[in-house]
Amino acid sequence: MKNIGTFRLAVGAVIVATSVTAWSQTREAASAPGASAMAASGSAAPATGRKANRALRRQVYNAIAKHKEISAGNISVVAKDGAVTLNGTVTDSSQVGTVAEIAKGVPGVTSVTNKLTVEKPFGGM
């Protein structure tokens, strides 16, 4: 019985592991249609005005901050009528694209201009 318990645990672990992988795949796959849907809604009527720009900027920062390995304190986000411009630095070249993808995924963002550069952390790689 004890062995069966172990077996169930192992199967359970595998299912969890698989489901996690499947989940991340879904997210990546979903980003493409998501982006096109965004473009559609954007072309219809992007939110305008200073208040809307500020709100969108905040939403983009909140989305970036969910990725704890990225320091949103080194990134400038400027939003204007759905068009987002990214400036500042990230610590790894892979994060340049990641941050742009995160910004694109925020509802209300119609376009992203990416001017991020790579700045390695002090004394590190």
Partner 1 sequence: MKLKLSSAAALVVFATAAHAQSSVTLYGVLDTGLLYQSTSAATFQPHAPNLGHLYQLKDGGIYASYWGLKGSEDIGGGYKINFKLQGTFNTANGRFGLADTPGTTAIFNQFATIGASTPFGTFDAGRQIIPMIYAMAETDVRGAQYFGSILTAWLGVNQAAGWPGTSTNAPIGALYDSNALVYNSPKFYGASLALEYAPGGVAGHFQGGTRESAVLKYSNYGLNLSAVYYNGHDTNPFPLTYPAAPAVPATGLANNRFYYFGAMYTIAGFSISGSYGVGKNPANTNTADFEMASGGLGYQFNPRFKITSGYYYLRDRNHSANHSSEVAVGAEYNLSQRTKAYAQVGYVDNKGTMNQTIIYGAPVAPGVSTTAAMIGIRHTF
Are the beta carbons of 79 and 49 closer than 8 angstroms?
A: no
Size of residue set near partner 1 by CB under 8 A: 37
Are the beta carbons of 77 and 105 closer than 8 angstroms?
A: no
Beta bridge pairs of residue 30: none
Per-position x/- string for 40-59, each x denoting binding to partner 1 as judged by CB under 8 A, each - no binding: ------------------x-
Among 2, 4, 28, 49, binds partner 1 (CB under 8 A): 4
CA dihedral sign, ordered 19, 24, 29, 33: positive
Contact set for partner 1, span 66-95 (CB under 8 A): 68, 71-78, 85, 87-89, 93
Angle between the N-to-C axes of helices 93-104 and 2-44, in degrees from 0 to 180, rounded to the nearest 10:
70
Among 39, 47, 52, 65, binds partner 1 (CB under 8 A): 65
24 lies in the binding site for partner 1 (CB under 8 A): no
